[in-house]
Amino acid sequence: MGFVIATVNMKGGVGKTTLTVNLATCLAKNHGKRVLVVDLDTQISATLSLMSPQDFAKVRKGRRTLSHLIDKSIRPNLQSKLTIQDVIQPYICSIKELDLLPGDIDLYDEYLVSEMLHQKANSEGKENFSDVWNHFEKLLIKGILEPVINNYDFIILDCAPGYNLLTRSGIVASDFYLLPARPEPLSVVGIQLLERRISRLKESHNSSTPLNLQLLGIVFILSGGLIGRYYNQVMKRVTEDFTPAQLFKNRIPMDVNVAKAVDSFMPVVLSTPTSSGAKAFTRLTVEFLQKVDAYQNMSQNRSTKVNLANLD
């Protein structure tokens, strides 16, 4: 079964989307992994980093975006034959193993969601609205991905900044989360806030089946020059707060080619593969796979121990 990975940080502009699209591309192109990128952000940056605005306009006209799948979850009576398989765009950037579930500038109507959940709570005679809400949140993204989860090695969710319904639903559907961060003092606060929110999210969703969500690692997006030297001190502080396993050793340098790649509707690892940014993403992908392997081995060892314990 595929791993679901959320790229999150409550801050915008820290490099979530850039990390998502470059990691996904390297996993597919260099390692032959089957990868699906899911754009959960109404800014549709992941979508527009992987397809041209013209292609996106066509896709949107045919209602083949995430918005339609969310609509179907909110309004079960909606007459529509479009499935997630119809919405997913294959052969992204001409890579056979890379697929995209395009995002949309309108993803859901909060009022509609609240109304639907209130009606549900009333009709089921449930007094506790937050239980109904938590249940919906837990199953929204998980339910949308369910039919295709076995088709992929990795499904990477590009989350919006902030902490909205889709980000929370994406996080609870994930096995791991990646935390790209710039080593600025406020970004350190952001990391701590997110960690606190995620542990609270785990508590509120733990009543039925426990969440196995793990931080795969913090990825630093560096800055050059004088400010870079100051950032090194901040980075030292962050590294003291986390175990080495929670940090990626590979860091992403600032590189104009990374920003320019968006103009060619493809990630820098394809547009300028020899640039310093592209090389850093390529190395980071190898480390990513090592980290996932390490977790897999750890959980296998744990289950062997449990099985052996059962034999006693």
The binding site for ligand ADP (CB under 6 A) comprises 12-18, 45, 221, 252, 254-255, 258-259, 262, 277
Q: Does 25 bind Mg ion (CB under 5 A)?
A: no
Coil, helix or strand at residue 182: coil
Q: Indicate which of Mg ion, ligand ADP, none lies near residue 13 (CB less than 5 to 8 Å, by partner kind).
A: ligand ADP
Q: Does 17 bind Mg ion (CB under 5 A)?
A: yes
Q: Indicate which of Mg ion, ligand ADP, none lies near residue 15 (CB less than 5 to 8 Å, by partner kind).
A: ligand ADP
Give the chain's end-to-end CA distance (angstroms, integer).
30
Q: Indicate which of ligand ADP, Mg ion, none lies near residue 159 (CB less than 5 to 8 Å, by partner kind).
A: none
Residues 6+ apart with CB under 8 A from 80: 68, 71, 72
**Part of the chain binding Mg ion (CB under 5 A), chosen from 42-50, 62-70, 121-129, 183-191:** 42-50
**Angstrom distances, CA of residue 248 to CA of 3, 69, 163, 217, 265:** 18, 34, 24, 6, 27
Whose Cβ is closer to ligand ADP: residue 16's or residue 68's? 16
DSSP one-letter string for 109-146:
-HHHHHHHHHHHHHHTT-S-HHHHHHHHHHHHHHHHHG
Place of tokens 């806030």: 193
Place of tokens 């902490």: 163
**Part of the chain binding Mg ion (CB under 5 A), chosen from 44-52, 66-74, 139-147, 229-237:** 44-52
Instruction: Compute the distance between CA of residue 122 and CA of residue 25 in angstroms, rounded to an integer.
Output: 46
Q: Does 22 bind Mg ion (CB under 5 A)?
A: no
Residues in the chain: 312
Q: Does 187 bind Mg ion (CB under 5 A)?
A: no
Whose Cβ is closer to ligand ADP: residue 16's or residue 64's? 16
Whose Cβ is closer to ligand ADP: residue 98's or residue 258's? 258
Chain-centre distance of CA 255, in angstroms?
Answer: 23
Query: Which residues contact Mg ion (rule: CB under 5 A)?
Result: 16-17, 45
